[in-house]
Amino acid sequence: MRTPVIAGNWKMYKTADEAGAFVREFLPLVQDADGVEIVLAPPFPSLAAVAALTRGTRIGVASQNVHFADEGAYTGEVSARMVRDAGAAYAIVGHSERRHYFAETDEFVNRKVRAALAAGLVPILCLGETLAERESGRTIEVVERQIRAGLAEVPGSAAGRILVAYEPVWAIGTGKTATPAQAQEVHAFLRGTLKQMWGEEAAGAVRILYGGSVKPENAAELMGQEDIDGALVGGASLSAQSFANIVKHR
6 near ligand PEP, rule: CB under 6 A: no
Q: Report the half-sphere exposure of 143 (CA within 13 A, side-chain side).
A: 28
Give the footprint of ligand PEP on residues 172-191 (CB under 6 A).
172-173
Give the footprint of ligand PEP on residues 211-230 (CB under 6 A).
211-214
Question: Which position among 233, 240, 246, 247 is part of the footprint of ligand PEP (CB under 6 A)?
Answer: 233
Based on the residue annotation, tell me whether 221 is a catalytic residue of this protein. no
CA dist 223 → 5, 7, 27, 75, 231 (Å): 10, 13, 22, 40, 8
Q: Which residues pair with 63 in a beta bridge?
A: 91
Based on the residue annotation, tell me whether 135 is a catalytic residue of this protein. no
The size of the chain, in residues, is 250
Residue of closest CB approach to ligand PEP? 234
234 near ligand PEP, rule: CB under 6 A: yes
Give me the phi and psi of 200, to 5 degrees please: -65, -45
Region of 25-33, 144-152, 205-213, 217-225 interacting with ligand PEP (CB under 6 A): 205-213
Per-residue mark of binding to ligand PEP, 133-172 (x: CB under 6 A): ----------------------------------x----x
42 near ligand PEP, rule: CB under 6 A: no
Tell me how far apart the alpha carbons of residues 94 and 125 are, in angstroms, rounded to a whole number.
Answer: 6
232 near ligand PEP, rule: CB under 6 A: yes
Torsion angle of alpha carbons 174, 234, 167, 58, nearest 10°?
Answer: -160
Closest approach of ligand PEP to the CB of residue 188, in Å: 20
Chain positions contacting ligand PEP, by CB under 6 A? 9, 11, 167, 172-173, 211-214, 232-236
Catalytic site residues?
95, 167
